[in-house]
Amino acid sequence: MVVASAARVAAVADAAAGADRAVDAMLGREVLRLQSVSKVYGSGDAAVLALDDVSLSVQPGEFVAVMGPSGSGKSTLMNILGCLDTPTSGTYHFGGDDVSTMSERELAHVRNRRIGFVFQQFHLLQSMTAWRNVELPLLYRTTHDRREQAMRALEQVGLSNRVDHHPNQLSGGQQQRVAVARALVTNPDLLLADEPTGNLDSASSRDVLALLKEINAAGRTIVMITHEHDVAAVARRVLEMSDGRLREGELVT
């Protein structure tokens, strides 16, 4: 009974979150806002300024590409945006909440509920089948129909016929699609992709980018880090990073 009612409460909460998102979109409330964020690694003479006074606002439904050469600070930006790291100075609001002051536990909660990650290295657990990998984030929240949700997410990425395959039985493109399904299964406010095509051949890259575009078209906010122009071209807004500074690039229409 307790489990069932807890699940019902969670379902209601999820529905409420969805409704909130719709309201946010209507009101033009941002998904995230960085204000004068700086990130310094190390200290003293060895200190490196990875992010230098970065401000950024992302609206619901946007598809933002962050471009820049390696060492420009885009990975640091990705880590800050993904609540995997905290800024040295400045504030970061995610969906209206100030995450720069949150505890590790609260950050874990934000990552679990509101952010979906897609990594360059896929980061699938080799010992698990595709659907078990997709199910992973659901283990850290109260959900009673984990298998059904994982199956739905895999269907969304077109892998319904590969649910019981292990990662080593899948091609690179298929593995990355499993990773995308894992990012989507929690119905996050933001999908954060770090060089999602970095480890893929051109055919698989096109495949995954088309999938991301489709997901964005369905209303999901995406921030993608890349250093390739043709990859950035799928985004509707391109930002360029160099030496830790962020500036608005030309808008692709």
Partner 1 sequence: MSWLRTLETGLRGILGHRLRSVLTTLGILFGVAAVICTVGIGTASSDSVNARIASLGTNLLTITPGSTRTGGVFGGAGTASTLTMDDANGLSSHDNAPDVAAVAPVVQRSEPMVSVASNWTAQVQGSSTGWLTANARSVDQGAFYTAKDVSSHALKIVLGSTTATNLGVAVGDSITVNKIPFTVIGILNTVGGQGFQNGDDLGVVPITSAHDVLVGGDPNSVQRILLSAGSSDTVGSAYQEADQLLLNTHGAATSGTPDFTIQAQSSFLSTAQSVTTTLTILLASVAAISLLVGGIGVMNIMLVSVTERTNEIGLRKALGATPGDLLRQFLVEAATLSFVGGLLGVGAGLLAGVLIPHFTTIGVTITATPVLIAVVVAAGVGLIFGVYPAARAARLAPIEALRAQ
Binding residues for partner 1, per CB under 8 A? 79, 82, 84-85, 104-105, 108-109, 111-113, 117, 119, 123, 125, 127-128, 132, 136-137, 139-141, 182
Min dist. Cβ of residue 227 to partner 1 (A):
18
Min dist. Cβ of residue 192 to partner 1 (A):
10
Min dist. Cβ of residue 112 to partner 1 (A):
2
Min dist. Cβ of residue 199 to partner 1 (A):
13
CB 226 within 8 A of CB 65: yes
**Residue with Cβ nearer partner 1 (108 or 233):** 108
**Residue with Cβ nearer partner 1 (141 or 229):** 141
Min dist. Cβ of residue 127 to partner 1 (A):
3
**Residue with Cβ nearer partner 1 (92 or 119):** 119
**Residue with Cβ nearer partner 1 (106 or 248):** 106
**Residue with Cβ nearer partner 1 (176 or 249):** 176
**Residue with Cβ nearer partner 1 (12 or 139):** 139
CB 138 within 8 A of CB 186: yes
Min dist. Cβ of residue 94 to partner 1 (A):
14
